[in-house]
Structure 1
């Protein structure tokens, strides 16, 4: 009986020595929201710079991405985008669905982007009643809040509050 107790004690000690090193995950070891996007075959540029944290339920694909504040910017070609401080939805290979917190201004209307589908080298953005396709090359880099892709070094990477 003493041998079993000693054996269990050795296993317990070994577990404590091995377990912390296998569970230790620092912030630098955690994947970023941008690398998670890439793992589902999306380019990083569908999210602007400035995601401070995120959560993802890998079993359902449910996610939240968090910014310090809302984020607005114009894209070349007349579209204005607005990201709330929290965006959410469901992610799967080549598809984001049930999105909340992302709007695009079309003419004078703000419309919610509810779905994004990657189809080979194109991205399809749906606002429910209609959709628009864009070349994937337009999303290889993340835009910056406030100035999109038209930033110069003198502008800060600040967030722009909007309604």
Structure 2
């Protein structure tokens, strides 16, 4: 009778070389940007100050904790992020968004949904309830800086033409 050693045949090493990459492809994303990109969204949608995040692939629920409530400037305007941002992540969309507001015409409107209009067009749409804002996907390649949620930080985020007192409008 021949002695058979556990890894003497090429089959276990072949199985190992196939299974290990599969296991890593199903593991959680290394960063929120990686997770967003894996779902067809630009990696820079959320600010640099993301502290942690969790994603339940079965329900799509995405929960993101940001270091502190803050303002971020994008090419298309100014956004405010609460400490916690939630939504249902699916391919090309983040729906039922909570904790994210966008400034439009001196008003702060909650972002309800974000989705890529058409991957060929390079346009991302923000549903802010009363309208849909079309922005270039390229505006969201890199995560923006996020200034703490104070009136001074908001004025700084607005730049030299910023208005005094808009903090109270929020």
Q: Which runs of 4+ in 1 moved over 2 A?
A: 73-77, 159-163
Contact kept in structure 1, 2:44 and 2:143, CA below 8 Å: yes
Q: How many residue pairs align between the two structures?
A: 124
Residue 73 of structure 1 and its aligned partner are, at CA, apart by 2.7
User: Residue in 1 aligned with 2:135?
Assistant: 134
**Distance in structure 2 (CA, Å) of the matches to 1:93 and 1:134:** 18
TM-score if structure 2 supplies the norm length? Answer: 0.67
Contact kept in structure 2, 1:95 and 1:117, CA below 8 Å: yes
User: Residue in 1 aligned with 2:51?
Assistant: 52
Residue 109 of structure 1 and its aligned partner are, at CA, apart by 1.0
**Distance in structure 1 (CA, Å) of the matches to 2:44 and 2:114:** 13
Contact kept in structure 2, 1:63 and 1:89, CA below 8 Å: yes
User: Residue in 2 aligned with 1:91?
Assistant: 89
TM-score if structure 1 supplies the norm length? Answer: 0.70
Cα deviation per residue 1:94-127 (whole Å; 9 max; x = unaligned)? 0110000000111121100000011211100001
Unaligned runs of 5+ in 1: 1-21, 147-158
Q: CA RMSD, aligned part only? A: 2.1
Cα deviation per residue 1:107-160 (whole Å; 9 max; x = unaligned)? 1211000000112111000012210111111111111012xxxxxxxxxxxx33
| Other structure's SS at 1:46 match | coil
Q: 1:52 to 1:142 in 2, by over 3 A?
A: same
